[in-house]
Structure 1
C-alpha cells in the first residue's frame, strides 16, 4: 500500500517526459524509464528506443507455470538501454544443444519517433516466432528502422517458451498457455502506457510470424485479448494450422517421465507439482527434446509445447474452445485481419534433403503425411489411408510420379500446403465475414533470411521467414544492407512491404489510395490477394486455388472416414 501511495506522489511530482541530450525519461504506470536516441538505417530518421522494460513479475518459484503477475511499481528511473534476458530455451551450436536464457525474461521493447503524448501514432506490437520454443523480441532479427521510417510506434516482446510457456497438467492451477497469457499481459501494458511513448492506445495492431502469427490469431479469437487491439497480421501461421495446438493430457505423462529421469519415482500429481516447481530450469532444457523436424520417411509436424484448449475447470483460462468451434459459433469479426504465406514455405525444413537428395528416398518409399491435428490419429497402417496417400501422390507428382531431386518443387509444395498454407487459406476465408486481406510473399533476393541461414540461396522461391529482413532491420545480416541501391529489388521490397503493413495498421487498408495497386479484401467468393514479387505487387484471385480445394476435400473426407471408423469400432 505504501509503495503505491509513494508512486502516485512521484507521478504527480515528475513531468511525464524529460529530455537530456540523447536521452529521454518517460513516466509509466510502473515507474519512470529512460530511453536513448538512435537513427534509422536508410532515411536517417531519429527515434527513441526503450529496451528491456519489465511488464510482469519474474515467473519463478511459485509463479513458474502460472499466469503472469503484473509488474510491481519501481521508484528509481529504469535505464532502458539494454535488452532484457531472453526466455529459457535451447540454442544449437555446432550441432549440439545448449541451454540459454533465463526464466526472468518478461520484457518488452518500445521504439518511437516521438514521445509526445499528443503524437497519437499507430502502434504495431510484434510477436516473434520460433515454434513456441525459441527466439526473442531483440533486434538481432527485429530492428525497428523500416517501421520508424513509416512513422509508427513498434513494440517487440519476450514471452515464455517451451515447457515453461506451454506445459499444461489440465488442472485448475496448471491449465497451460502461459506464453499466450504473457503476451496478453504485454498487450494490456501497452494499452495502459503507450500514450506516454507517443502511441495511440486505440490504434494497436498485433502482428506476428510463424508461431507468433499463430499466437496473433489466438488473440483475435480469445475474448481475453480481442478487445485490446484493432487489427491483426498473421505471417506464415494461424490457429487453424495442423500444428497450432496440442492435447494437454499428454503433458502430465511427459512431466512424470522427466521426474523419472531425475531419479524421482512419483505417483501423485501433488508430488509432481512440487517437483516441477523446484527442479532447476536447466534440467528441463537438457532433458526435453526441443527440435522441430518433419521426420524422414513419415512427414509429421506436431509441437509438444504449444497452445492448448484449456478445460472448464481452469482458474484463469485464455481459450477454452477450439479455434474452429469459435469461428463456427457466431464469432464477432470486429478485428480487421491480414493473413499471408511465402511462395516456398517449407524450404527451411527440407534443407537437408535439398543438400542431399538421397535423403528423399525414405519418404518416396513410405509416402506418409500427417492428416490430423494429433499425429497419432492418422492411421497410416490402414488400407483406407493408403488410398488417400496414393491420391495425394498422384495429385502432386502425377501417376507413377516419384519424389526425387527432379521434383523438389512439388515436394516443397506438398509439405507447404499441408502444414502451413491450407490453414492460412482457411483462416483468411473464415475472417472474410469481417475485413480480411490475403497476400503471398514471393520475393527472391539477397535479404531472404532463412535461405541464407540454411544455405539455400540458389534454390527456388521464398522460404518461411524470408520476408522478415525486408520488414525489420536484421542486425545479424547488417552487412547485407550496406550496398543496397535505391532502385534495387531489395530496397523496393523494403519500401513496399513496410508501406503495406503500416497502411493496414493505420487505415485498415494496405493501399488506401489504390496506389500503386488496389489491394482488396476477400469479398464473398472473390478470394482477392496480392502477390509480392521481384517485379512488384500483383493483384490476383485465389492463390493455390486448385491445391487448396484439393486439401479441403482430402481433410474433410479423411475426417469423415475417421468418425465413421470410430463409430464402427465402438459398435
Structure 2
C-alpha cells in the first residue's frame, strides 16, 4: 500500500499573547480510499490571521516584518537586556514590527580560536546563526513573516549584521540589513591576532595537547585569571604610548577585554572578503554611523 500525505489548511489562526506553541503537535488521522490506498489527513491547520474585526473583507495578512537585533560591545561585552522590552515595544509595535533581541557568547567563550581545525572560532557568530534559523523557522507561529527579516545592529552588532548577511551559513535567511557604525570588514571585526591571544591563554592555563577538552575543564575563575595574564603580557610588549591607550581603553571596557577575541576568517562562517562579496547575492543594506558613539571610550 502507498501512504500519501494530505495537508488541508482550512482554519485561520487566532493569536494569543499568553500562549505560544512553537513546536506543538497537530493531530491527524488515516483514511483508507475505496481502492485501498491510505492517506494521512490533517485538518484545521492555521495559516493566516483570523479575518475578524478590521481584517474582515481584507486580503489575508502574511505576517509582520521582523527586526533581528544584535547588540554591540566589541564582541566582548554588552547584552540584549540593555535595550529593555518596554522601549522596544513603545517604538516598534505602533509600526507593526516584531523585534527580536538575542544573546550570544562573548569574548573568549565566543571567539577563542587556535587558527586551525582544533578550535576554528566564531562560536558567537554560530550562536547568532542558530537564533536566526530559529526565528526564520518559527516566524509564522508568532505572527511574523520569515521573508521579511531585517538584521540590525550597532558597532560590533553592526559588523555582525554585515557578516550574517554575507556568510554562506546565514545569508539565505536574511533579505536586508541595517548596519550602524560597523561593517563586516572593519578591522575590529577581523581579529588577526586572535589565534596568538588564544594560544597564549592556552599556554598560561597549561592546555597543550587537547586544547578544547582542557579548556572545558577550567573554571571561570581560572580562565579569567589567565586572560589577565595574557593581557598583561600583551601590554608589556607595546610601546609606552600604545600601552597607555590600551590600558585606558581596557579600563573603559570593563577591565580585561580590550578586543582580544573577535571573529576570524575560519573558511566556514567567514571567508576572505573578496570571496564572500563575490559569492553573496545582492541584498538591501542601509549603512550609517551612530552619533557620539565614541563617547563610550573618550
Residue 318 of structure 1 corresponds to 269
Q: What is the CA-CA distance between 1:288 and the residue it aligns to?
A: 1.9
The CA distance in 1 between the partners of 2:124 and 2:49, in whole Å, is: 29
The CA distance in 2 between the partners of 1:199 and 1:127, in whole Å, is: 18
- Give 5+ residue unaligned stretches, structure 2: 1-11, 26-47, 51-59, 250-257
Three-state SS of the structure 2 residue aligned to 1:269 is: coil
Aligned residues of 1:115 and 1:196 also touching (Cα < 8 A): no
The CA distance in 2 between the partners of 1:208 and 1:234, in whole Å, is: 6
- Structure with larger RCO (C-alpha < 8 A, sep 6+): 2
Q: CA 1:252/1:288 → structure 2, altered by over 3 Å: closer, same or farther?
A: closer
Residue 255 of structure 1 corresponds to 201
Residue 147 of structure 1 corresponds to 92
Give a deviation string over 1:431-460, Cα, whole Å, max 9, x none: xxxxxxxxxxxxxxxxxxxxxxxxxxxxxx
TM-score (normalizing by structure 2): 0.69
- RMSD between superposed Cα atoms in Å: 3.1
Residue 114 of structure 2 corresponds to 169
Residue 295 of structure 2 corresponds to 347
Aligned residues of 1:115 and 1:197 also touching (Cα < 8 A): no
Query: Is 1:191 aligned to residue 191 of structure 2?
Result: no
The CA distance in 2 between the partners of 1:123 and 1:192, in whole Å, is: 13
Query: Is 1:24 aligned to residue 18 of structure 2?
Result: yes
Three-state SS of the structure 1 residue aligned to 2:190 is: coil
Aligned residues of 1:133 and 1:162 also touching (Cα < 8 A): yes
Residue 269 of structure 1 corresponds to 209
User: Aligned to 2:262, which of 306, 310, 320?
Assistant: 306
Aligned residues of 2:158 and 2:179 also touching (Cα < 8 A): yes
Give a deviation string over 1:308-336, Cα, whole Å, max 9, x none: 0115xxxxx21232x25533xx3444210
Aligned residues of 2:190 and 2:262 also touching (Cα < 8 A): yes
Query: Is 1:126 aligned to residue 76 of structure 2?
Result: no
Residue 297 of structure 1 corresponds to 241
User: Aligned to 2:283, which of 335, 338, 357?
Assistant: 335
Aligned residues of 2:112 and 2:195 also touching (Cα < 8 A): no
Task: Map 1:97-112; keep pairs closer than 5 Å.
Answer: none
Task: Map 1:32-111; keep pairs closer than 5 Å.
Answer: none
The CA distance in 2 between the partners of 1:118 and 1:164, in whole Å, is: 41
The CA distance in 1 between the partners of 2:240 and 2:142, in whole Å, is: 49
- Give 5+ residue unaligned stretches, structure 1: 1-14, 33-113, 312-316, 351-571
Pick which of 221-230 and 276-285 moved more: 276-285
Aligned residues of 1:245 and 1:303 also touching (Cα < 8 A): no
The CA distance in 2 between the partners of 1:256 and 1:332, in whole Å, is: 35
Give a deviation string over 1:197-242, Cα, whole Å, max 9, x none: 1100011100011111111111122111111011101111112222
Q: CA 1:118/1:25 → structure 2, altered by over 3 Å: closer, same or farther?
A: farther
Query: Is 1:206 aligned to residue 151 of structure 2?
Result: yes
Aligned residues of 2:175 and 2:283 also touching (Cα < 8 A): yes
TM-score (normalizing by structure 1): 0.37
Aligned residues of 2:161 and 2:179 also touching (Cα < 8 A): yes
Three-state SS of the structure 1 residue aligned to 2:149 is: strand
Give a deviation string over 1:80-108, Cα, whole Å, max 9, x none: xxxxxxxxxxxxxxxxxxxxxxxxxxxxx
Q: CA 1:303/1:153 → structure 2, altered by over 3 Å: closer, same or farther?
A: same
Residue 219 of structure 1 corresponds to 164
Aligned residues of 1:213 and 1:234 also touching (Cα < 8 A): yes
Aligned residues of 1:17 and 1:26 also touching (Cα < 8 A): no
Three-state SS of the structure 2 residue aligned to 1:175 is: coil
Task: Map 1:143-542; keep pairs closer than 5 Å.
Answer: 143-145=87-89, 146-247=91-192, 248-259=194-205, 264=206, 266=207, 268-270=208-210, 272-289=211-228, 297-298=241-242, 303-311=259-267, 317-321=268-272, 323-327=273-277, 330-350=278-298
State how many pairs are aligned. Answer: 234
